[in-house]
Amino acid sequence: MTPNGENLMVILSSPSGVGKTTITKKLQQKYQNLKISISHTTRPPRSNEVDGVDYNFVTKEKFEDLIKKNKFYEYAKIFGNYYGTSKKDVDQTLQTNDVIFDIDWQGTKQLSSFKNLNLIKIYLITDSKAELKKRLLKRDQNTKEEVEKRFKSFDEDVQHWNDYDYILINKNLDICFKQIEQIILNNKSKKFNFFRKAQ
Ligand code: 5GP
């Protein structure tokens, strides 16, 4: 089955380290019918990541086979690894839920080309590059080299702000969370169904 455009697909993009994973997880905890899209990736798992929960970790061969078989809504090579969104998984989840995506600008562009999808595109930034570097270093999940790669991609990333419906500055996590929550609720109320709050 393909999406009927009723349920929302919320894209949350940002340079690495701006806090989108924290916000995404908080949203899912609060709203039982908002599910996080679990991407496929060829990146090796970090020590705190679980296969099938944070990502579906696959080999390069497997990923390239899925590309050939047209199994992705979108995919991109980022920092030398593939990342992609499975059509089957998303279509299934969208039947009964709204879905939130933590994907980059390349994936956002590709998803935008599907006209039957009910997309909300949000871009999250920090108020300064210095703050971003601080967060990346503090995160302590990346090697120094990975931190540099992610930091350098900032300039490229921000050139794609125009592709988004909303640009938010994450100066304060709670405020930013509320802003995103409000954007989603406003768009959802336009579609008749309000979110069901988690028990
Ligand atoms: P990380 O390696 O830090 O988990 O993610 C690196 C980047 O890949 C982040 O900007 C994240 O948003 C992006 N990303 C994660 N999954 C996907 C995906 O399925 N598609 C695309 N295009 N980007 C993704």
Provide the residue type at 165 as one letter.
D
With a 6 Å cutoff on the Cβ, whether 104 touches ligand 1 is yes
Give residue 6's pLDDT. 77
Give residue 140's pLDDT. 60
Instruction: Return the residue whose CA atom lies nearest to atom 21 of ligand 1.
Output: 103
Six-digit token pair at 57? 């970790």
Give residue 69's pLDDT. 98
With a 6 Å cutoff on the Cβ, whether 111 touches ligand 1 is no
φ, ψ dihedrals at 195, nearest 5°: -65, 145
With a 6 Å cutoff on the Cβ, whether 107 touches ligand 1 is yes
Give residue 191's pLDDT. 61
Q: Which of 149, 185, 176 is nearest to 18 (CA)?
A: 176
Q: In Å, how far from its chain's centre is CA 62?
A: 22
DSSP string, 49-73: --BTTTBEE--HHHHHHHHHTT-EE
Give residue 199's pLDDT. 46
Please write the tens of the pLDDT for every residue from 157-184: 888 888 999 999 888 889 999 999 999 9
Name the pTM for this structure. 0.87
Six-digit token pair at 106? 């390349």
Instruction: Return the residue whose CA atom lies nearest to atom 17 of ligand 1.
Output: 103
Digits of tens for pLDDT over the chain (199 positions)? Answer: 455 557 999 999 987 777 888 899 899 999 989 999 999 999 999 998 999 999 999 999 999 999 999 999 999 999 899 999 999 999 999 999 999 999 999 999 999 999 888 999 999 988 777 877 777 777 666 677 877 877 777 778 888 888 999 999 888 889 999 999 999 999 987 765 545 555 4
Can you list the domains of the chain with their CATH numbers?
A: 9-187 (3.40.50.300)
Residue 28 backbone class (left: φ over 0; alpha: ψ -120 to 50; beta: rest): alpha
With a 6 Å cutoff on the Cβ, whether 103 touches ligand 1 is yes
